[in-house]
Structure 1
Amino acid sequence: MRHLYLLRHGKSLWNNPSDSDFTRPLSERGLRDASKIASYIKRENLPIEVVLCSPALRTTQTLEAIKPVLEKIAEVIIDDSLYTFDPVHV
Structure 2
Amino acid sequence: MQDSAARPFRLFLLRHARSGWALPGQRDFDRALDDVGYAEAELIAQMAADRGIRPELILCSTAVRCRQTAEPFFRSVSEDIQIRYVDALYTGPASVYTDIIDANRHLNSLMIVGHNPMIDELFRRFAGNEAATDALPHGYPPAALAILDLQGGPGGAATATLVSLILPTREPK
Give per-residue Cα distances to partners, 1:26-56, cap 9 Å, x unaligned: 0000000001101111111013110000111
* Correspondent of 2:51 among 44, 57, 60: 44
How many positions carry a matched residue from both structures?
Answer: 89
Structure 2-normalised TM-score? 0.48
2:80 counterpart of 1:79: no
Q: Which amino acid aligns with 2:66?
A: T
Give per-residue Cα distances to partners, 1:52-84, cap 9 Å, x unaligned: 0011110111111221123252x3211111102
Cα RMSD after superposing both structures? 1.5
Structure 1 segment 17-36 matched on structure 2, within 5 A: 17-36=24-43
Residue of structure 2 in register with 1:5 after alignment: 12
- Matched-pair identity in %: 34
Structure 1 gap segments, 5+ residues each:
none
Any conservation in 1 of the 2:60–2:85 contact (CA below 8 Å)? yes
Q: Which has the larger radius of gyration?
A: 2
User: Residue 7 of structure 1 aligns to a residue in which SS?
Assistant: strand
User: Residue 58 of structure 2 aligns to a residue in which SS?
Assistant: strand
Residue of structure 1 in register with 2:144 after alignment: none
Residue of structure 2 in register with 1:70 after alignment: 77
Deviation at 1:20, TM superposition (A): 1.1
Q: Which amino acid aligns with 2:31?
A: R
Structure 1-normalised TM-score? 0.88
Runs in 1 of length 4+ with deviation above 4 angstroms?
A: none
From the two aligned structures, give the one with the greater strand fraction. Answer: 2
